[in-house]
Amino acid sequence: MTRLESLFCLAGVSPIKPLKIPLLLLLLAHAAVRASPVESVEEVYRYGMQLLEEEEYDGALFELNKAMGMLKHKYSNPLRAEVEKQIRITQGKIVVSRYARKDKAEKKEEGSGLLPLNKEAEDFRVQQVFGKVLARNLWENRDTLSINMPLGKGRTVTVMPRAGIEIEESRSRAFSLRCVQAASFTLVGPSQLQLHSGSYAISSQTAVTSLRVSSTLTDLTLSSDHPYALMAGVTTNGGMKVICLLGKIALSVDGKSENLMPGELVFALPDGFSRKMNVELSTLIVTSNLLTDFPAPPVYHAKLRQQAMLQAMRTKKKFRTVVGDVKGRENFELKILEEGNL
């Protein structure tokens, strides 16, 4: 017996068992890791679709985004378009399910203290609407919105799939907003918006000192000395994608600033801005649901067409791409447009 074994015996501990068990567990764990298969993108996609069928929408979106991450550099993979389609469907189902849960909770709650509709303030007014759009908070629920209907500040508006709405700030006409295809936002005040999900076109026909637009993790302040128009979309990482359509727009996030000219795109992230890139305005005019789905075009449509022509004259290159989500501060999802989509 060695001196170390004698010490173990004096302490009443076997020197053999404590050594053998951890070693055995280590070998088993190592074998399990080696035997664990690597998931393929098809397996991740199928699991995401299974969760979608089971109405586990948050988990389904996680798995589908994971599949998209595995396909981010494989633009020719035929599964990529299907994954993108299912992500959009899942995001729409999330909006609908959240509304349903909230509406059910409101119906169960007695004495909620909601104000009557005839007392609702006229801070905003509906300019255009189609499909099913809902208004919640502060006043009694509105399940059907119509043109010229007033909406007070503090209202949360939910746009269902295959629906859209255009709203204008009615007191000083500081800005107008339109959104389509599964979106949710809150009209915080005459110069502040909270975007929860979806894509938006925001414009002003007057010079506005500032407009604060917030998403889940990003507080963006924009200002312009002249009339302007832009597109904004909430990204999966809680930031925003911003495209300047008209005017010169100054943006600021967390002490950092950026200026956008027509045709320029930038991602506003919680800690600042991504690098800028250019997009082709003429492509946006004919492909964006924000511009094409409403009965009447936006008031700035003629100026936007003129700006697109000026952009085309300044460059010989055709930016035959659509910009998707943000992938870090320096990378974007880019999809090449087919000839028939231009």
Is 70 exceeded by the pLDDT of residue 72?
yes
Is 70 exceeded by the pLDDT of residue 152?
yes
pLDDT of residue 96: 76
pLDDT of residue 241: 94
> Contact 61/93 with Cβ under 8 angstroms?
no
Confidence class of residue 7 from pLDDT cuts 50, 70 and 90?
A: very low
The pTM assigned to this predicted structure is 0.64
pLDDT of residue 21: 46
Is 70 exceeded by the pLDDT of residue 19?
no
Distance CA 260, CA 68 (A): 29
Is 60 exceeded by the pLDDT of residue 193?
yes
For the segment 298-320, the average pLDDT, to the nearest whole number, is: 82
pLDDT digits (tens, 9 = 90+) for 77-118: 888 888 888 888 888 888 777 766 666 555 544 445 789 999
**87 φψ region: left (φ > 0), alpha (ψ -120 to 50), beta (else):** alpha
Q: pLDDT exceeding 70 applies to what percent of the chain?
A: 75
**Contacts of 209-213 spanning 24+ positions with Cβ under 8 A:** 211/174, 211/175, 212/188, 213/240
For the segment 46-63, the average pLDDT, to the nearest whole number, is: 86
pLDDT digits (tens, 9 = 90+) for 259-282: 999 999 999 988 889 999 999 999
74 or 204: whose pLDDT is higher? 204
Confidence class of residue 334 from pLDDT cuts 50, 70 and 90?
A: very low
pLDDT of residue 271: 83
Tokens at 101, concatenated:
């849960």
pLDDT of residue 214: 93
Is 50 exceeded by the pLDDT of residue 173?
yes
pLDDT of residue 31: 47
Q: Are strands 208-214 and 219-224 parallel, antiparallel or unpaired?
A: antiparallel
pLDDT digits (tens, 9 = 90+) for 229-260: 999 999 887 889 999 999 999 999 988 999 99
Nearest residue to 87 (alpha-carbon basis) of 7, 189, 197, 13? 197
Distance CA 186, CA 198 (A): 12
Cα angle at 198 between 274 and 211, to 5 degrees? 65
